[in-house]
Amino acid sequence: MSARLQSARGFTLIEVLVAVSLLASLGIFLYASFGAMIRSQEDTDRLQERHHAARVSMSRMTREISMAFLSKHVNDDEARSKTLFLGDRNRITFTSFSNQRRVRESMESDQLVIEYFLKSIPRGRGKGLYRRTKSVLDDKPEKGGTVELMAEGVKSLEFEYWNRKDEDWDSNWEVTSDDFELLGPAALATGKRKLSEEVTDEDETLQLPWRVLIRLELIDEEKVTHLFETQTPLYVREPLDFTLGGALTNAKGRLNSKGRGGKGRGGSAGPTGGGR
């Protein structure tokens, strides 16, 4: 009888306490492991989001800067629409043909003003890459428009502008439509270049740069820097003239180029000019 009772007895208090402590230690270990894994996954997700935002930003800046332009067009009966390309080391403002109308029958064209710059994000979240756009061109393109945040955790944003004449990168490049003289009595005393005069390749100051270098640096929570860098050519370097005289001049130039061996009938295609 006593042997049966001895074999049927339960765990002692010490054995229960040891088992509970082992289970608690195992639970703490598993919780710490899962917590570290979750934090690592969250850090990876944040880094991927920042990298994605940086790649999207670089792609957008490349596309929009490549479509920058200057215009000499003036309407006599309307206020003049100013076009510009103001490029500094850390900020760039320009007019571009990259506007995409998202509202049907909106009073917009494919032209807009774009500005890229760095600014501190509210609530102490570091610096961010901002984009300002203005879809209606007027005489004050440096003001107004809408501003949106494109990327967070930005350490630096730099632009450089290729000057083929000097064969070197410039830290700034500024040219606006005000650099061209208006045809008419009000502009006779300005002493600036007239619209009828052609801009030559040697006159770099009245053209857009050949290429723009874009350099974007991100910094993560561990203070590690991630560099994104690219270059983009500018396809419309010389200022455009949308007036009737400018259109006729451009058409005449195209006809002359065909007569000198362009793609016209009976001619062969000439060289493209390579890196222009």
Bridge-based pairing of strands 92-96 and 112-120 is: antiparallel
Any residues with CB less than 8 A from the CB of 170 and at least 6 apart, and which? 160, 161, 162, 163, 209
% the chain with pLDDT above 90: 36
Q: Is the pLDDT of residue 270 over 80?
A: no
pLDDT band at 108 (very low <50, low <70, confident <90, very high): confident
**Of 50, 119, 63, nearest to 96 (Cα)?**
63
The domain spans of the chain are 44-241
| Dist CA 241 CA 251 (whole Å) | 12
**Of 213, 232, 242, 208, nearest to 86 (Cα)?**
208
Secondary element (H or E) of residue 160: strand 154-163
What are the CA-CA distances from residue 25 to residues 22, 36, 37 (Å)?
5, 17, 18
Mean of pLDDT values over 241-247: 57
Instruction: Give the pLDDT score at 58.
Output: 95
DSSP SS3 for 97: coil
Average pLDDT, the chain: 77
More confident residue, 40 or 158: 158
Q: Is the pLDDT of residue 75 over 60?
A: no
Q: What angle do CA 96, 100, 104 make, to 5 degrees?
A: 140
Instruction: Give the pLDDT score at 263.
Output: 38
pLDDT band at 243 (very low <50, low <70, confident <90, very high): low
Q: Which two tokens stand for residue 160?
A: 């450089």
Question: Is residue 144 within 8 Å of 175, Cβ to Cβ?
Answer: no
Question: Is residue 140 within 8 Å of 132, Cβ to Cβ?
Answer: no
Question: Is residue 97 within 8 Å of 111, Cβ to Cβ?
Answer: yes
Question: Is residue 87 within 8 Å of 211, Cβ to Cβ?
Answer: no
pLDDT band at 77 (very low <50, low <70, confident <90, very high): low
What is the pTM for the complete model shown?
0.69
Mean of pLDDT values over 185-200: 45
Mean of pLDDT values over 268-272: 32
Instruction: Give the pLDDT score at 13.
Output: 80
DSSP SS3 for 15: helix
Instruction: Give the pLDDT score at 68.
Output: 96
* From 41-55, 89-103, 213-227, the region with the lowest mean pLDDT: 41-55
